Homo-oligomer: A and B are copies of this chain.
Amino acid sequence: MDWTATLPMKMTQGFDAAVGYELLEVTDDLVRARAEVRDEIKQQAGLVHGGVYSSIAESIASIGTYVVVSRDGRTAQGMSNQTSFLRPILEGHIHAEARARHKGRTTWVWEVDFTDDQGRLCALTRMTIAVR
C-alpha cells in the first residue's frame, strides 16, 4: 500500500503535532510541507520561532530519506541541521520544500527552502541524515 496516496496529511503525533505542519508531497527526491502560522509556534516578539523551521526541516528530510531507505530495511536518523534565518514570517503559512542533494550509502544530504505566502525566501536548512 502506498501511504503517500493519503497526502495531504496533517501531522498528529509527538513534536510534529506541536509544530502543526501538513505533509503535501513525498517523492524519492522531494518533500513538501506547509504549516499555518499560529500563536503556538511564535516566539515572544510575534515572529515564527526559529526552532519551527529547524523542526520542519528535520522531520521532512527524515521522512524523505526513510521512505526510500526503509525499502531495504535501513533506518534514517538526523545527524546535523544547519538553519539560516533570512526573513521573519509573522502570519499566513510557512511553505517548506526539501530536495535531496546527496544520497550516499551512509548519509543523505537535503536542502530545504522555506518561503512565505508571497513566495519570498525566509529560511534555508541543510540537513544531514545518517542511514544505517
Which residues in A have some Cβ–Cβ distance to B below 8 Å? 13-19, 39-45, 49-52, 54-59, 62, 75, 77-88, 101-102, 104, 106-107, 109, 111, 121, 124, 126, 128, 130
Please report the C-alpha to C-alpha distance between residue A87 and residue B109 in the assembled complex, in whole angstroms: 12
The residue among A13, A54, A102 with the most chain B CB atoms within 10 A of its own CB is A54
CB distance from A104 to the nearest CB of B (A): 7
- Interface residues of A, dominant DSSP: mixed
Please report the C-alpha to C-alpha distance between residue A48 and residue B102 in the assembled complex, in whole angstroms: 19
Please report the C-alpha to C-alpha distance between residue A14 and residue B52 in the assembled complex, in whole angstroms: 11
**Besides the contacts A15-B18, A86-B109, what 18 more A-B pairs have beta carbons closer than 8 Å?**
A14-B40, A14-B43, A15-B40, A15-B41, A18-B18, A18-B41, A43-B62, A49-B59, A51-B57, A79-B85, A79-B107, A80-B84, A81-B85, A87-B102, A102-B121, A107-B130, A111-B111, A126-B126
The answer to whether B44 and A51 touch across the interface, beta carbons within 8 angstroms, is no
